[in-house]
Amino acid sequence: MKIVILDAYTSNPGDLSWDGLSELGELHVYERTETPELVVERCKGAEIVLTNKTILSAEILNQLPRLLYIGVLATGYNVVDFEAARKQHIVVTNIPAYSTDSVAQATFAHILNITNRVGDYADGIAHGKWEQSKDFSYLSYPLHELTGQTIGIVGLGNIGTKVAKIALAFGMKVIAFTSKEQEALPEGIVRMNMDDLFETADIISLHCPLTESTRHLVNKDRLATMKPNAIIINTGRGPLVDDQALADALNAGTIQAYGADVITQEPPRDGNPLLSARNAFFTPHIAWATFEARQRLIDIATANVKAFISGSPQNVVEF
């Protein structure tokens, strides 16, 4: 059985192993597959294809009659044309919940970077500011405790719930926008509608999927209702925020800061107003990418393929 990995590098840049998959078939591993033509060429004759961000469109799938299985190396699976996959009776699986702890940790890395300005102080020390200080310490940026602050979490799935638990451990008040009823929420979390959450929260953390209803949920109108000391954290998807509206709010001091692991176009090629906005701090979509999370991803991907071959597929995406 021919198994093809189209874009292996981000999941495994060389510090992990694909040996488990190689035991299940004739494995072909490609670091990146940049064009649709190359996708078709590399997948010809394959029964199993694994992809992270490489798109498998209807046009591509129609040229792969032997394809039986697509394994998405991520939780999100919008890179696959599901109507085409359904017509060809192709099973599609994903990797649920592998990065929950890593993304929750990255969320607080951004929060703590903003409230404690660790990066800015480290940079200042590297440029001699501490050596030049007349006192045993120096204070260039205001510092703030998290205890007593209110965090508003948009989306209470696995990651949002983990963030809420960490926030409670910090002594924060937790409010959330969620489809779950109040009675079903863990102790200490208060359900709130979206507009009230934006008006109330000191920190807002986005953990909802990107849909037509959530696109630009952070927009000019909601930003205008927020506290001037408010912080927004986005480890979900870039288009959850209106880039220009948020950049304008940051530059005008309408809100305090933005910390994000995502941006609308990844990687940013044509400029983005947020990249140069005041108090905007970015990491390059790496919240999911700890060694431990990537190992879990490969382990689950291997188990998914093994389950499919045995006739009992798991983690199947329903469409």
Q: How far apart are CA 277 and CA 257, in angstroms?
A: 9
Q: How far apart are CA 268 and CA 248, in angstroms?
A: 19
- Return phi, psi of residue 234, to 5°: -130, 100
Residue of 26, 31, 266, 292 marked catalytic: 266
Residue of 110, 117, 285, 296 marked catalytic: 285
- Return phi, psi of residue 14, to 5°: 125, -5
Residue of 110, 117, 222, 237 marked catalytic: 237
Measuring CA to CA, which residue among 8, 3, 57 is closest to residue 298? 8
**What count of Cα atoms within 13 Å lies in the side-chain half-sphere of residue 243?**
14
Indicate if 266 belongs to the active site: yes
Measuring CA to CA, which residue among 236, 196, 232, 239 is closest to residue 217? 239
Indicate if 237 belongs to the active site: yes
Beta strands in the chain (DSSP E): 2-5, 26-29, 48-51, 69-72, 91-93, 150-154, 173-177, 189-191, 203-206, 231-234, 257-260, 280-282
3-state secondary structure of 51: strand
Measuring CA to CA, which residue among 36, 162, 190 is closest to residue 104? 162
3-state secondary structure of 173: strand
35 burial class (0-12, 13-18, 19+ CB within 10 angstroms)? exposed
Distance between start and end Cα atoms, the chain: 25
Which residues are marked as active site? 237, 266, 285
